[in-house]
Amino acid sequence: MTAPARVLIVGTGLLGTSLGLALNRADVGVEVWLSDLDPRRAALAGDLGAGRVGAPESGPDVAVVAVPPRATPMVALTLLRLYPHCSVSDMASVKSQPQAVIDGHLDVRARFVGGHPMAGRERSGPEGARADLFAGQPWVVAPGSFVGAVHLDRVLELVRLTGAEPVVMSAGRHDEAVAVVSHVPQVVASAVAAGLVSATPSALDLAGPGVRDVTRIAASDPQLWLEIVTANAGPVAVGLSEVVDRLTRVRDALSELAANPDSSTGTFTDISTDRDIHERSESELRALLVAGNRGRALLPGKHGAAAVEYAVVPVVIPDEPGALARLFVAAGEAGVNIEDVSIEHVPGQPVGLVELSVRPDQAVELTDALQRGGWRVH
């Protein structure tokens, strides 16, 4: 395949700007042009190195729509009519809706190839963009029934230039899949985070990594997610119904436990009844927790490989500039690759706890090396 020579990106938010940065980093001679209704955003994206503001005089080979979902179909149609030989793709997280609109225009539908990079951040706008945002990540390419082969090839090559892994699937399958792995988790995380609004300050002071992990994505742009979940309303509603059913069963089981506290007093009949209630309720809760373990284990690991259970090496470090960098250097000198890392500050103390995730066979080696270097490892 031949890389497109000229790419026009319409929309210079997080994804559009990151696409421009990734294409320029690929260093394959692709000219990247940027367009946005907000000239300040386009200028910032250009200054960051994502491309040149404007459009190529001879027209782009590929135009990528990186605007909010509601605007995606109309912007795509505008580009298809403005540039008669151009392949047009998009980055919206819902695929059926824009595809249905484009399919209604027989003269241009062969040149539209839907796309959705499975990557993002809580931070929006060009200032949150990263050249490596798509590296190693799946990028769904959802061609319609009428797409031309040359246009599909152009978009696939564009995706590969970013370092992403193209995954070809239909628009309908995509929307069902992202409802499960993205849209429903977003709504659930927001629901959990919304419960913190009424929490007391003393309760919030106790917040640890659990609630932070669960609510991390709740910090995302509300307007953008409003557009996403409403555009994919059917699959999201189905997924939420399944979550609600599971939570309802657990809620009912816990309510029954609360109404029938465990007791070693009373008649033999009462004790037997209590035992039955507790066994039934605990069984319901256990089933959810075990299913959660199973589901979490099914998520792919690095580079799409099977998930690996890493060993965690906890290290206490001083809360001062350069401490984390020195720790990483020490791990590198020990020849140990850090697979993941989490950091917790200890309230009221000038130290932090860093948890280094490593391959199980390297945990002892890393622990010994860090302790020899004077680090406090637990």
Structure tokens at 228: 């996403």
Q: How many CB atoms lie within 10 A of CB 296?
A: 9
Can you give the pTM of this predicted structure? 0.78
DSSP letter for 346, please: P
Q: Which amino acid is at 311?
A: A
DSSP letter for 183, please: I
Q: Do residues 1 and 161 make contact, with C-beta atoms less than 8 angstroms apart?
A: no
Structure tokens at 240: 């939420």
Cα–Cα separations (whole angstroms), residue 25 to 22, 83, 157: 5, 26, 15
Give the homologous superfamily in CATH for domain 6-169: NAD(P)-binding Rossmann-like Domain (3.40.50.720)
Residue holding tokens 């559009």?
A: 16
- What are the sequence ranges of the domains in the chain? 6-169, 171-238, 311-377
Rounded to 10 deg, the angle between the 233-259 and 171-178 helix axes is 20
CATH number for 311-377: choose from 3.30.420.40, 3.30.70.260, 3.30.565.40, 3.30.9.10. Answer: 3.30.70.260
End-to-end CA distance of the chain: 52
pLDDT tens for the chain, residues 1 to 378: 667 899 999 999 999 999 999 999 988 889 999 999 999 999 999 999 999 999 999 999 999 999 999 999 999 999 999 999 999 999 999 999 999 999 999 999 999 999 999 988 767 789 999 999 999 999 999 999 999 999 999 999 999 999 999 999 999 999 999 999 999 999 999 999 999 999 999 999 888 888 998 999 999 889 989 999 999 999 999 999 999 999 999 999 999 988 887 644 444 445 556 778 888 899 999 999 999 999 988 887 655 555 567 889 999 988 888 999 999 999 999 999 998 888 877 555 677 889 999 989 999 999 999 999 999 998
Q: Please count the CA atoms within 13 angstroms of the CA of 38 that sit on its side-chain side.
A: 10
E strands along the chain, which residues? 6-10, 31-35, 52-53, 62-65, 87-90, 112-117, 138-143, 165-168, 311-318, 340-345, 351-358, 376-377
Radius of gyration of the chain (CA): 25
Residue 114 to residue 126: CA distance in whole angstroms? 22
* CATH code, residues 171-238: 1.10.3660.10
